[in-house]
Structure 1
Amino acid sequence: MSIQYLLDENLPHLYREQLLRLKSDLTVWIIGDPGVPPKSTLDPEILIWCEQNKFILVTNNRASMPVHLADHLSQNRHIPGIFVLRPKASIGEIIDDLILIDELGNPQDYQDCISHIPFI
């Protein structure tokens, strides 16, 4: 099963451009793209969309995302995963990890949890 990424609207589009430049068959959408939640959608709604569409959320929201995930799970819901970007990581380190996760990762390893990338 291939991993699909939904990038938070606050992340630079450079992330998608670089991911697709290095791995053109990767599915990388950004909040606000056609067919995904529009910009300014509340985090709980984004988590529901990710659950229904089997996308891992990639975000820099370190503050409130743990609370939203806990609420989501308490409603007996699930999420393919959330990747939170480490604040001092370079774009290259993050891109490398996202590609490595797609190529070698097991999607079940990330289900219902927050992982910080790069893994370092």
Structure 2
Amino acid sequence: MKIRFLLDENLSKQIKMAVLRLNSSIDILCVGEPDAPPFGTLDPEILSYVDLSQRLLVTDNRKSMPGHLELHWAEGKQIWGLVWVRPATSLGKLAESIYLLWETYEAQEWIDRVDWIP
């Protein structure tokens, strides 16, 4: 199964457009879009959403998300991957990194895995 992505709300929607230019069949949603959590959704609810929808979360939220992720795991829940975006990453580099994740890995390989991109 291919990785499906959710971009956290504070990331630019331009990232999604850039990823889809690389491959239009990539399943990528942004918080605030139809079928995704609405803007303002709290971190624990985002984590529950990506667990239930089997989506890898792409975020730059390094302040509150780590603590919520630890609680999520402590409750016996899982995630389908989370990648932290490094500060000052260019749009093109980020889109390419997401594309390479999609091209290289199966979704199951990212269960409960956390990493940095690029």
8 Å Cα contact 2:19/2:99 also seen in 1: yes
Which residue number corresponds to residue 70 of structure 2?
70
Q: Which has the higher contact order (CA 8 A, sep 6+)?
A: 2
What amino acid is aligned across from residue 104 of structure 1 in structure 2?
T
Which residue number corresponds to residue 90 of structure 2?
90
Q: What pairs with 1:20-59 in structure 2 (closer than 5 Å)?
A: 20-59=20-59
8 Å Cα contact 2:58/2:83 also seen in 1: yes
Unaligned runs of 5+ in 2: none
What amino acid is aligned across from residue 23 of structure 1 in structure 2?
N
8 Å Cα contact 1:5/1:28 also seen in 2: yes
User: Which secondary structure state, in structure 1, belongs to the residue aligned with residue 35 of structure 2?
Assistant: coil
RMSD of aligned Cα (Å): 1.1
What amino acid is aligned across from residue 62 of structure 1 in structure 2?
R
Partners of 2:87 and 2:109 in 1: how far apart? Answer: 23
TM-score (norm 1): 0.93
TM-score (norm 2): 0.94
Unaligned runs of 5+ in 1: none
8 Å Cα contact 1:66/1:114 also seen in 2: no
- Give 1:68 shift: 1.0
* Equivalent residue pairs, number: 118
What's the % identity of the aligned pairs?
39
Which residue number corresponds to residue 106 of structure 2?
106
What amino acid is aligned across from residue 95 of structure 2 in structure 1?
I
CA gap of 1:51–1:81, structure 2 versus 1, over 3 A, is: same
User: Which secondary structure state, in structure 1, belongs to the residue aligned with residue 41 of structure 2?
Assistant: coil
2:60 is equivalent to residue 60 of structure 1: yes
Ranges of 4+ aligned residues in structure 1 off by more than 3 Å: none
- Give 1:109 shift: 3.5
